[in-house]
A and B are shown apart, each in its own frame.
Chain A
Amino acid sequence: MVDLGNERPQLPARARNQSPIVPRASIAGRALVAVVAIMTFLAAMTTGVVLLISASAAEWQSDVSSEITIQVRAAQNRDLDRDAATAADIARAQSGIVEVRVFSKEESAKLLEPWLGTGLSLDDLPVPRVIVARVTPGTPLDLAGLRGRLTAAVPSATVDDHRAWIERMRSMTGATVLAGLGVLALVIVATVISVSFATRGAMAANKPIVEVLHFVGASDRYIADRFFRHFLMLGLQGGLIGGGAAIFVFGFSESIATWFSGTPVGDQFAALLGTFSLRPTGYLTLVGVAVLIAAITALASRRTLFATLAAIE
């Protein structure tokens, strides 16, 4: 070992410029990360559920709108089987209809089973016959013409193109999307308010630092940037945690749905919600929501920073 004596470099041992100008501990970081994480989670869950419902509704709509149902009721002095066959022939002759299926008496009885129970003789009941016709998707169907020809040949036949159902579904989906957007807007407003309060609190706690920075000639932009870095990091952390949790929840639910597929529970679930899975674009949207909340956090804190700095001489 060589004793350098007075020649020893006088530079301090540890690296310089290490202390941040605004100490991280002076900002109530954890609480804010938690708030941003919860808000991001809620926003991402809302968005995901809205996406799922929209996708399922679109599936139902395309299923329903690709079919029409012809119902032939029993009438006095008419042979129901013959009427049903006539109606099926008329439907087959209609352009735009690709497949026609006549439900037999037994099948019609089966449709009524959930209401009337099993083992009931339906011979004495005037159970109508159902004919389901599949329509080529995207083809305009002359429904009025079909209806006219059918009622001319079979007066007791009615045609249902499920329009009422589709309309109801469309309005339900629209309401769900609107509600989702409303929740999203509330979450964003709540985030902005929380972040503004947190920023004001941090600025108040660090007022002596702000004053000294003003004394040494720091501009408001410089001071705001020092605080902004902290809030950007907090926003990103919160966004990552909340968005990650929401993506995990959707991924996990998808896995559960896959495990239960084929079981009665799984089938009912699938019947109600379709395939409980987000498309890759859906997951991207969730990431987008997380980024949006982080960006809102950063912007709200920046706005508050400049407003607060303007008030400090």
Chain B
Amino acid sequence: MVRFENVGLRYGLGPEILRDLNFAIPAHSFQFLTGPSGAGKTSLLRLLFLSLRPTRGLVNLFGNDVSLLGKDDVAALRQRIGIVLQDFRLLDHMTTYENVALPFRVTGREESSYRKEVIDLLKWVGLGERMDALPPVLSGGEKQRAAIARAVIGRPQLLLADEPTGNVDPTLGRRLLRLFVELNKTGTAVIIATHDINLMDQYEARRLVLHQGRLHIYE
């Protein structure tokens, strides 16, 4: 589903922060992406999400060479990818419900066709009572859950999560991990970038470890 061949990334004229990445993410797989701060986890996620292009090498996503993609192709591919970012990126003028429903709304679907699905998911992540609240009044944990719900609502083929349990207590962390595992069982490939050893210990999965710009894979 995703294939990286000799991929390198540098910002401007700076040093290469990702070097010679060679790996594949198979469909239906589950993996943790870990490594020390500044190792390039977020940059790798951005490469996977097409918001960065590699400086060298080949990135193949869903059978497409990303260097050949136009903007419309990128938009279409992103509809198959869910992403949870560290800073959540919720829209402050929209309610929690509207934020979570956004991936459906931008594809032009009727609100009545996804309403139940969105409400069910919001209840599942514990935001059933907060669906009319605006993000500025949500706690950090609530924002994180809303961001996760938005990423998974469209049942993406690939889910990318950057420190998805960083702002929640261990109990909720386990619950969210279960959500990712459930999603994985329904066919979504999951990549969770995290520092949290406890989280990784809770679920047996492949580990991609970034160290000094290189990737080491532990199956």
A residues with a Cβ closer than 8 A to B are 10-12, 14, 16-17, 19, 21, 23, 208-209, 211-222, 310, 313
* A6, chain B: closest CB distance, angstroms: 12
**Residues of B contacting A222 in the complex (Cβ-Cβ under 8 angstroms):** 106, 108
Q: Which residues of B contact A216 (CB under 8 A)?
A: 78-79, 102-103, 106, 150
Q: Using CB atoms, name the residue of chain A closest to B71.
A: A220
Of all chain A residues, the one with the shortest Cβ separation from B103 is A216
Segment among B22-30, B34-42, B92-100, B185-193 that sits at the interface with chain A: B92-100
Is A213 in contact with B106, judged by CB distance below 8 angstroms? yes
CB-CB under 8 A from A217, the residues of chain B are 75-81, 103, 106-107
Q: How far is the CA of A132 from the CA of B150 in the complex (A)?
A: 89
A212 to B71, CA, bound (A): 15
Taking each of A11, A21, A212, A217, which has the highest tally of chain B beta carbons within 10 Å of its own beta carbon?
Answer: A217
Q: Which of A11, A21, A313 contacts B51 (CB 8 A)?
A: A313
Please tell me if the beta carbons of A212 and B103 are within 8 angstroms of each other in the complex. no
CB distance from A48 to the nearest CB of B (A): 42
Query: Using Cβ atoms and an 8 Å threshold, which residues of chain A touch B94?
Result: 19, 21
Are the C-beta atoms of B78 and A214 separated by less than 8 Å?
A: yes
Majority secondary structure, A binding face: loop
Q: How far is the CB of A23 from chain B (nearest CB, A)?
A: 5
Chain B, Cβ-Cβ closest to A22? B93
Asked if residues B83 and A215 are in contact (CB atoms below 8 Å), the reply is yes
For chain B, residues 78 to 131, give those with C-beta under 8 angstroms from any C-beta of chain A: 78-81, 83, 85, 89-91, 93-95, 97-98, 101-103, 105-108, 111, 115, 119, 123, 128, 131
Contact, CB under 8 Å: A214 / B93: no
A225 CA to B209 CA in the complex, in Å? 42
Number of A-B residue pairs having CB atoms within 8 Å of each other in the complex? 76
Other A-B contacts than A17-B98, A212-B102, A216-B79, 9 sampled, CB-CB below 8 A, are A11-B119, A12-B97, A19-B98, A209-B91, A215-B49, A216-B102, A217-B81, A217-B107, A220-B75
The answer, yes or no, to whether B16 is at the interface (CB within 8 Å) is no
A sample of 9 cross-chain residue pairs with beta-carbon separation below 8 angstroms, ordered by A number, consists of: A10-B123, A17-B101, A19-B93, A21-B94, A212-B89, A213-B102, A215-B51, A217-B81, A220-B71
Bound-state CA distance A294–B75 (Å) is 31
Within the complex, the shortest CB–CB distance from A29 to chain B, in Å, comes to: 15
Interface residues of B in 139-191 (CB under 8 A from A): 150
Alpha-carbon distance between A230 and B23 when the two chains are bound, in angstroms: 46
How far apart sit A11 and B111, CA to CA, in the bound complex (Å)? 12
Find B89's partner among A11, A14, A208, A219 (CB 8 Å cutoff). Answer: A208
Q: Which of A16, A211, A214 has the most CB of B within 10 A?
A: A16
Which B50-83 residues have C-beta < 8 A from chain A? 51-52, 71-72, 75-81, 83
CA of A125 to CA of B106 in the docked complex: distance in angstroms?
92
Top 7 closest A-B pairs, CB basis?
A217-B79, A218-B106, A217-B78, A219-B75, A17-B111, A216-B103, A23-B93
- Residues in B with CB closer than 8 Å to A19 are 93-95, 98
Closest to A220 in B: B71
Contact indicator A214/B111 (Cβ below 8 Å) = no
Residues of chain A within 8 A of B196, CB atoms compared: none
A8 CB to nearest B CB, Å: 12
In the complex, what's the smallest C-beta–C-beta distance from B172 to chain A, in angstroms?
22
Measured CA separation A28–B155 after assembly (Å): 38
CB pair A11–B115 under 8 Å, yes or no, is: yes
Residues of A within 8 A of B78 (CB): 214-217
CB of B132 within 8 Å of the partner chain: yes
Q: Is the CB of B75 within 8 A of A211?
A: no
B115 touches A16 (CB 8 A): yes
- Nearest chain-A residue to B81 (Cβ)? A217
CA distance in complex: A23, B131 (Å): 19
Closest chain-B Cβ to A288's Cβ sits at a distance in Å of 34
